[in-house]
Amino acid sequence: MSAAMNYVAIIGAREVKVTVKELGESNYEVAIDGARHVVDARQVVDCLWSILHGNKSIEVDVTQLPGEEFEVLINGDCHKFYLVNEQRRAMIRGGAKGIAGKEIVVSPMPGKVVKLLVHAGQEVKADQGLIVIEAMKMENELRSTGSGKVKEIFVKEGDVVESGAKLILVE
């Protein structure tokens, strides 16, 4: 059993707390604003997932758009939202995007470093991809919240990291 991963889904002006805990195999406990659900989620191909919840089978098409924005198609209904960790939520809501300053990028979840998209000394812009972390069979690209220079990289490709682990320092 793995540690729970905590997120905030930002849907327009509304914020929804989402917690995902892997129970083993393809079973997950998903809490949405405290309401808990156990689901069996299996990736069919690329963006298509088959979700079993109770006695219902649901096909879900998940597409990650630029940044942390997602587009989810469920039974013909399209839903768009941002899915971020608490740190990124504060930065998005606080308007820090695009402002130069010190930023320590941390892993929002336990996972594996799949790819470093930058190198030490590289100049980066706001919303530029920095690193890709794989968790629960999904790749998550973490992006810079502001412009600056990559001062230090604390991990290498292939490293396994815990939630909250320091990954990259941008100043």
Compute the distance between CA of residue 106 and CA of residue 10 in angstroms, rounded to an integer.
20
Beta-sheet pairing, 129-135 with 148-153: unpaired
Mean local confidence (pLDDT), 157-162: 92
What's the predicted TM-score (pTM) here? 0.52
The residues pairing with 51 across neighbouring beta strands, listed in sequence order, are 41, 58
C-alpha dist (Å) from residue 166 to 51, 81, 109, 114: 33, 26, 11, 15
Mean local confidence (pLDDT), 104-119: 87
- pLDDT, averaged across the chain: 83
Domains located in the chain, CATH noted? 5-84 (3.30.700.30), 96-170 (2.40.50.100)
Q: What is the dihedral of CA 105, 106, 111, 117, to 10 degrees?
A: 10
Question: Which of the four pLDDT bands, split at 50, 70 and 90, describes residue 135?
Answer: confident
Q: What is the pLDDT of residue 93?
A: 47
